[in-house]
Amino acid sequence: MPAPASQVLEDAGCPRVGGDPLRTFSIELDDGELERVSPSLRLDGIQPAAAPLTEASGAAIEPKHWDIGRYRLSFERPLIIGVLNITPDSFYDGGRYFDLPVAVARGEEILAEGANIVEVGGVRAGPGPTVPTSEELARVIPVIHALGDRVNIPIAVDTFDPLVAKAALEAGATIVNDINGLRNPAMRAVVRETAAGAVIMHIQGRPRVHQPHPHYDTVIGDIAQFFKDQIEVARSEGIHEERLAIDPGPGFGKLPSHDLEIVRRLGELQGFGRPVMLAGSRKAFIGRVLDGARPSDRLEGSLAVAAYAVLNRVQLIRTHDVAETQRMIETLEALSVQTSAA
């Protein structure tokens, strides 16, 4: 039986994390120049919903930054990752941005709505027919090229294909969001050789293959063990830990009950000292909570989940709804302001 999650983190040398749940965002280039700063955000009056996994003594180790290519992202504030799907069968937008001009316009809109990162994906993550590498490349590379000339924020590519990741990074992306969790040695080689940032997502099973009966001894404990193992493998192969982020992967090899437990206990994953990403936007477990609501009717649930994540000190919120998520965070900011009586 896997060790409890708290023991996993203590074994990895991860002390308890403290500090405010919300932070100020900035991008620092390699030469030290500050490229963009968002307003400061503090929630002194609102407590996180969960404590970190470990109570071990020592200095707090909230991630101070995330190194992604030529960028260094800081985490005084949660960063919003805007999703841009270049797929004809996306579970939410259903191919709305499949044409290049429409996709590029949406990418610019994502920036204008307040995203800190735009993520381009060319293959639906859920079960479906195989998409050849050549087709995935034809979908994402032109968009990444075009956005590189139009947006001043980092671009991520959502792929588990090392060839696509390499081409995307050469085209201007600086982050690989790998739903296969960096389990492919070829993907790790791409990340190592390009100095890209990488998101290690937990998945039980394989990408694009339905997992009808997922089982966990302890959900958070098993996920924590996965992250410990994958971070160690990456480090052993020369990938600097400062370039890694982690995503517990709601919806990937998990039942709705697993997804809800993950969200409830997101704060407990802070002990690794790496940025934690929540990618719960419009997902099926939210539909289950909302009496079978379709993806198009899951906005309120998605915002509730994102707000809960923010209060659990999550650093990265991946969303289809950038403007609404930005307004939610601004509202939390307003709630944290303490005013004196007249």
* Catalytic sites, residue numbers: 283, 318
Other C-beta atoms within 10 Å of 135: how many?
A: 12
244-247/65-68 β-pairing: unpaired
Residue pair 70/30 in contact (Cβ under 8 Å)? The answer is yes
Q: Six-digit token pair at 199? A: 């998101």
Residue pair 194/113 in contact (Cβ under 8 Å)? The answer is no
Tell me how far apart the alpha carbons of residues 129 and 226 are, in angstroms, rounded to a whole number.
28
Tell me how far apart the alpha carbons of residues 218 and 147 are, in angstroms, rounded to a whole number.
41
- Nearest C-alpha neighbor of 142 from the set 161, 125, 127, 122: 122
Tell me how far apart the alpha carbons of residues 90 and 88 are, in angstroms, rounded to a whole number.
6
Characterise 238 by phi-psi region: left (phi > 0), alpha (psi -120 to 50), beta (else).
left
- Nearest C-alpha neighbor of 330 from the set 315, 314, 310: 310
Give how far Cα 37 sits from Cα of 40, 41, 161, Å. Answer: 9, 12, 33
The secondary structure of residue 268, as a DSSP letter, is G
Q: Supply angle C-alpha 71, 74, 75, rounded to 5.
A: 145
Locate the DSSP E strands across the chain: 26-29, 34-37, 65-68, 71-74, 79-85, 117-121, 155-158, 175-178, 197-201, 244-247, 277-278, 316-319
Radius of gyration of the chain (CA): 19
